[in-house]
Every structure is written in structure tokens, then in C-alpha cells.
Amino acid sequence: MQSRPVIGIPTQTLQAIEIIPEGLPHSWVMNERYFRVVTSVGGVPWMVPLLDEDPETLRAIYDHLDGIFLAGGVDVDPSSYGSERHALCGRTDLARDAVELLFARWAREDGKPVFGVCRGMQVINVAAGGSLWQDCADQLPESVKHDYFPGAGWARDYLAHDIRVVEGTRLHRAFGEERVMVNSMHHQGICRMGEGLVASAYAPDGLVEALEGDGDAFQVGVQWHPEMLIESDAGTRRLFEDFIEAASEFHESRALVGSLR
């Protein structure tokens, strides 16, 4: 029986995402939707703690994983890409930044599959030396609306705008179409593209909506939230299935190397 690939999903610090009652212990949490989607396409999700002060333990965790899934969440702190904080930069989570950037860089070096959504795409870009717009509406006045946040009354699966998918990319092979409608729950975006990455989709205003590595390894980031669309869109399901397939292949290749030693 073929083993299911283990997919690491870094957590986030509860205290970084909301105001909590005084005295509540420091906690790590993550939206369960990501774990259920990974499970639905054959992966085994694994919560990754934010042990940013213990890289040895983090490496031991990383080495047991066949793929990395970087989820949505609070803003990436601008210190991660050498910029001053903009007035409209929101809440950040330095411990999560440190762990996710480390995992993204390790995965890039090892060719381990990595899939990032929303914030996760931005982490992939920053890990490769790229930078971000800290508030698209303010810094890109000609941009379309991207911040259809649930807290403002928008459904998480609301299809906000279309994207143009670049032919010849992994994304295009998954969707098989040049125009795709997506949901949109972000206010930051890609500014300078990281080294070794290429844009695979654009919003109507030209903002990068998806990126991927320029090599053979599965390294994909999308700016929208496909975990909310997997049940209604065949292209979205194929994208997740491609990620799990790549993780399975990575697992098998690692097992083969181990057997030859």
C-alpha cells in the first residue's frame, strides 16, 4: 500500500491575530479548513509549531515532511524584506514569519514541494529575496479592489475578479483556461519578484496573482484562497491534486535513495 505524503502546515500565534483575555497561555492555532482540504486530496496534514528559537528541532520536523503548505493569515512583517513599516501594514507574527521563511528556503534548496496561498504566496516570494506592497490600495492607486474580507460582509468564496493565467505554466495546466474567476481576501501583494520565480497569473490591474519556481520542483503560490473553491471548481481540485502528487513523488524518491544506501 502506497504511503500518503505528509504535508506540514505551519501554525500561527493566537496572540498575533486577535485580542485575547489576559492570562490565556501563549498558543499556536490554524484554520481547520486547510487541514481538511489537504486530507481530501490524499495528504496527511501535520501541524508545525512555531519553534523559531529552536532551528534544530524545526529541521527534524521538516525532514519528516514530503511537502509544505503555507496558509493565509496576518501580514508578513516588512522587516523580513528590509522595508520600513507602512502605516497601513496590519498585524504581523514574527515567529510565524521566521518558521515559514526557513521552511520555504529549505524546500527550495531540496526541491521539496511547497504550495502557498494568499500570505503563503507572499512568503514564498520573500524567501526568494522578493518584496511586497504593504497596502495595495494606498501604494497602487490604480489597483482594483482586492480586500474582500469576510469581516466586512463578503463570503469567503465570493468570486471577486478574474485573473489572466500565463500559458505554459503549472497553473495553466491545472486550470486549462486563460481566464479564471477567483476570490480575493488580501491587501498586500507582490512588489519585487524573488529570484528564480516567475509570474503565472495576473489580476486585471497587473498585480501578480500567482507565481511558481522556474525549475522542475513544485513551487507554487496563489494570491487567492483556493481552499474555499475546491468543491466547486475542477481546476482548483487539480491544482491541489498536483501538489499532493508531487509530494508523493518526493516521498518515493527519498525512499528510493534511502534503499540504495
Write the pLDDT tens digit of every residue in 169-222: 999 999 999 999 999 999 999 999 999 999 999 999 999 999 999 999 999 999
* pLDDT of res. 1: 44
pLDDT single digits (tens) 121-170? 999 999 999 999 999 999 998 999 999 999 889 999 999 999 999 999 99
Does the annotation mark 161 as catalytic? Answer: no
Catalytic residue among 89, 118, 136, 191: 118
Query: Which DSSP letter does residue 49 get?
Result: -
Dihedral sign computed on CA atoms, order 23, 79, 64, 170: positive
Q: In the predicted model, what is the mean pLDDT of the chain?
A: 95
- Any domain includes 44: yes
pLDDT at 7 over 70: yes
Could you give the number of structural domains in the chain?
1
pLDDT of residue 259 exceeding 60: no
Which candidate in 172, 186, 187, 225 is catalytic?
A: 225
Amino acid at 213: G
Identify whether 146 is part of a domain: yes
225 is catalytic: yes
Q: In this structure, are residues 210 and 223 in contact, taking their beta carbons and an 8 Å threshold?
A: yes
- Whether residue 176 lies inside any domain: the answer is yes
Q: What is the mean pLDDT of residues 53-75?
A: 98
- Sign for the CA dihedral angle at 33, 35, 36, 37 comes to positive
Which triple of cell numbers denotes residue 105? 528556503
Q: Is 227 a known active-site residue?
A: yes
For residue 163, the domain's CATH number is 3.40.50.880
Q: Is residue 117 part of a domain?
A: yes
Amino acid letter, residue 150: P
Range(s) of the domain holding residue 158: 6-260
1 inside domain = no
Residue 30 falls inside a structural domain: yes
- Say what the pTM is: 0.96
pLDDT, average across residues 20-27: 83
